[in-house]
């Protein structure tokens, strides 16, 4: 949901050039029109406005899939009118969802016996999956505390300060204290030692991130598991682990198969993953898998029969489309282990090309790690002349959407740019992005406002060194002439370089 507001009092109607072939009157912007309009006009009006959206393929801020094969697109359109919740009406769709749950559970090394069914559910995304996993932990903890005759009104959850905002939502919506391990310079994920120190009797779980949103780094779930086992032995507690593998869950099994982060670790009780990220499905699908049935309290599961048969359900919403579930099943059987491995290795290789290209400029420090989600997070070595936010804004002229952001506490003084490498981001695009970043840096270096700032800095440096500089005493007119001259040189250089180019 987006909180909406009226942009301005005067901007109250919508006009369309081409739609005037069908309708001449303007439409109200924030009220339903009184009369119907031709379908062609409605299409053209909306299409004209959508032209101003960014290009999804060039949106390097997003982890979400922006390309699928035409055959999968067709399957999605063919099933777009099916309601996922109507299990009795659409039993095959339900079966495909169950197959996906079991495939993903096996991928995460769930301890399943032969012919044993995995415990999990498809969700709208990892946000809903995390809400469901968190509720299961909270209810299990409450039941345990009630049985022991202890207070159960102050649950908490331990995470790193680098968690995605959905964890803050869970804590606020369901009244759970969020205890965050602060970050430090050069270490931008949760420190497992500090996390375990923060665990107490009221901790419902520790949440580890397999693929930090900030820099793609995998947290050390194995070390966290080992430390927590020791603490549980000392205290008699049984504090579990949830792994937020929204980004990394469809990466680690294919390119880091020896990495222990999943159900191979005994304290990992549930895992969420985003099918619409590196699961390679369009936005709208996530998954949460539990280790076994005992980790999902029965009282959280609802049984309904008014859609034709008894149907167990554990979701926050009710109705939703079936298309993404079907698309996920398509990708799993279409690509198989080999196909996913090829895609992830290709993404990793393109991330390497981009990282090396940025390093060659000599202007950036690379903040991301080579082991992790295939993305490149980087910051300026020197941001005294221009900062990462200016680079982000300037890149939009070339169509690129590259986010700039500050790190969470206690590393909020670090500003970072981040490029997510998805399946549809080719090596050619990586090389082009490096070229455009170099252009942006050159242009920012030559901007008139920056020229004046540089001159002031040079004057201050000269004064500090005892030189006879008159820069502090220049009049506004003198500054204006000097800046104008620098700007003329900049424009002349641009013209000379583009001479003869159409």
- Structure token pair of residue 185: 């310079």
Quick one: angle between helices 165-173 and 126-147, nearest 10?
40
Long-range contact pairs involving 440-443 (C-beta distance under 8 Å, separation at least 24)? 440/391, 440/394, 440/395, 440/398, 441/361, 441/363, 441/391, 443/394
DSSP 150-212: ---S--EEEEETT--HHHHHHHHHTT-EEEEEPPBTTB-S--HHHHHHH--TTEEEEEEEBS-
Residue 281 region by backbone torsions, left for phi larger than 0, else alpha for psi between -120 and 50, else beta: beta
- Structure token pair of residue 315: 């979701």
The per-residue pLDDT string of the chain (502 residues; one tens digit each, 9 = 90 and over) reads 455 554 555 456 676 666 566 666 778 889 998 889 888 888 988 988 899 898 999 999 999 999 999 999 999 999 999 988 887 788 899 999 999 999 999 999 999 988 899 999 999 999 999 999 999 999 999 999 999 999 999 999 999 999 999 999 999 999 999 999 999 989 999 999 999 999 999 999 999 999 999 999 999 999 999 999 999 999 999 999 999 999 999 999 999 999 999 999 999 999 999 999 999 999 999 999 999 999 999 999 887 665 555 567 788 888 888 999 999 999 999 999 999 999 999 999 999 999 999 999 999 999 999 999 999 999 999 988 889 999 999 999 999 999 999 999 899 899 999 999 999 999 999 999 999 999 999 999 887 655 556 556 666 666 666 655 444 556 656 665 665 666 556 555 654 544 444 4
């Amino acid at each position: 949901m987006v909180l909406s507001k009226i942009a301005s009092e005067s901007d109250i109607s919508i006009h369309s050039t081409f739609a005037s072939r069908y309708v001449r009157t303007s439409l109200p912007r924030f009220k339903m029109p009184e009369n119907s309009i031709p379908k062609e006009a409605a299409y053209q009006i909306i299409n004209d406005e959508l032209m101003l959206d960014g290009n999804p393929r060039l949106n390097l801020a997003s982890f979400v899939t922006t390309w699928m094969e035409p055959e999968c697109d067709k399957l999605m359109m063919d099933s777009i009118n099916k309601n996922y919740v109507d299990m009795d009406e659409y039993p095959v769709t339900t079966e495909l969802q169950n197959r996906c749950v079991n495939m993903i559970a096996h991928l995460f090394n769930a301890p399943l016996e032969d012919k044993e069914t995995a415990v999990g559910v498809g969700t709208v995304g990892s946000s809903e999956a995390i809400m469901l996993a968190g509720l299961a932990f909270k209810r299990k903890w409450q039941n345990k505390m009630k049985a022991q005759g202890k207070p159960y009104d102050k649950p908490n959850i331990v995470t790193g300060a680098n968690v995605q905002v959905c964890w803050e939502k869970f804590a606020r919506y369901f009244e759970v204290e969020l205890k965050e391990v602060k970050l430090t310079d050069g270490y931008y994920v949760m420190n497992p030692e500090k996390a375990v120190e923060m665990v107490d009797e009221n901790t419902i779980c520790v949440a580890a991130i397999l693929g930090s949103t900030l820099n793609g780094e995998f947290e050390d779930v194995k070390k966290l598991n080992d430390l927590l086992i020791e603490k549980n032995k000392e205290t008699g507690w049984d504090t579990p682990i949830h792994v937020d593998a929204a980004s990394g869950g469809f990466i680690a099994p294919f390119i880091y198969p020896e990495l222990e982060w999943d159900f191979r670790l005994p304290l990992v009780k549930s895992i969420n993953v985003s099918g619409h990220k590196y699961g390679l499905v369009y936005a709208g699908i996530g998954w949460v898998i539990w280790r076994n049935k005992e980790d999902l309290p029965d009282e959280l599961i609802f049984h309904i029969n008014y859609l034709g048969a008894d149907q167990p359900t554990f979701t926050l919403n009710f109705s939703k489309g079936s298309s993404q579930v079907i698309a996920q099943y398509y990708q799993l059987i279409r690509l198989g282990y080999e196909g996913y491995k090829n895609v992830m290795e290709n993404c990793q290789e393109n991330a390497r090309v981009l990282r090396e290209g940025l390093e060659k400029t000599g202007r950036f420090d690379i903040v991301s790690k080579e082991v992790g989600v295939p993305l490149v997070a980087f910051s300026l070595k020197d941001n005294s002349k221009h900062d990462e936010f200016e680079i982000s804004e300037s890149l939009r002229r070339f169509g690129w959407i590259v986010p700039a952001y500050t790190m969470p506490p206690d590393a909020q003084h670090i500003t970072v740019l981040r490029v997510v490498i998805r399946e549809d981001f080719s090596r050619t695009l990586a090389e082009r992005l490096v070229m455009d970043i170099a252009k942006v840096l050159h242009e920012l270096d030559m901007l008139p406002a920056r020229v004046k700032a540089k001159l002031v800095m040079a004057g201050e440096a000269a004064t500090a060194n005892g030189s006879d500089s008159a820069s502090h005493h220049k009049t506004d007119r003198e500054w204006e002439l000097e800046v104008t001259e620098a700007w003329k040189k900049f424009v002349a250089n641009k013209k000379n370089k583009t001479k003869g180019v159409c």
